[in-house]
Amino acid sequence: MTKGRGTVIPIRLFGDPVLRTPSRDVETFDDLLTKLCDDMLETMYQAPGVGLAAPQIGLAIRLFVFDAGDGSAPNAVANPVLSNMEGTQEDEEGCLSIPNLYFPTERAHFVRVTGQDLKGKPITFEGEGLVARIFQHETDHVNGTLFIERLAPEERRKAMALIRERELGWREGRIAGRWTDQPAERPERSG
């Protein structure tokens, strides 16, 4: 997987049923899967973001790509499973499928993700902070969960109100919460 080798694919937005559908396991590990991951990475970089799950481009399969921008190479995880979740962190989180909406979201501070690489071999990644947040956010996507479902009830109501306002074409949100029309300011968004 290399930056610049893929094709940008439109990202599915909030309201698309594929985003709420639990995905099926990846069963075929071939050149098409590698090409798909290159396309997903290119889409993620173009957005810009730090993670992107297959449902976000319309494919209900358990696959995500990520690049935390920490100097490590971009990577992919098929059939992710989270474990060893430790501690808590709360930070602003956004999603490429709900553009420019950010809310403080509680996540585990440390997490292990296991799954398979693009050849079908077992892989394990561990991360804390932003990397742990990416693993949790993207694994939620393949399970049919959006980050706004992780918000406290009052914050979720605010998020939904902001989404409705945007859908109605209001330029500025009128309630407490934060969103921006400038996605380039927030390159650390997860998928």
Catalytic choice (27, 93, 138, 172): 138
- Cα-based distances in Å from 150 to 3, 114, 118, 156, 165: 31, 22, 29, 8, 21
Rounded distance between C-alpha atoms, residue 45 and residue 67, angstroms: 9
C-alpha closest to that of 95 among 181, 9, 189: 189
> SS3 of 166, please?
helix
Give yes or no: 138 in active site: yes
Q: Are 87 and 41 in contact (CB under 8 A)?
A: no
Rounded distance between C-alpha atoms, residue 98 and residue 95, angstroms: 5
Q: What is the three-state SS of 103-142?
A: EEEEECCEEEEEEECCCCCEEEEEEECHHHHHHHHHHHHH
Q: Are 18 and 55 in contact (CB under 8 A)?
A: yes
Catalytic residues: 138
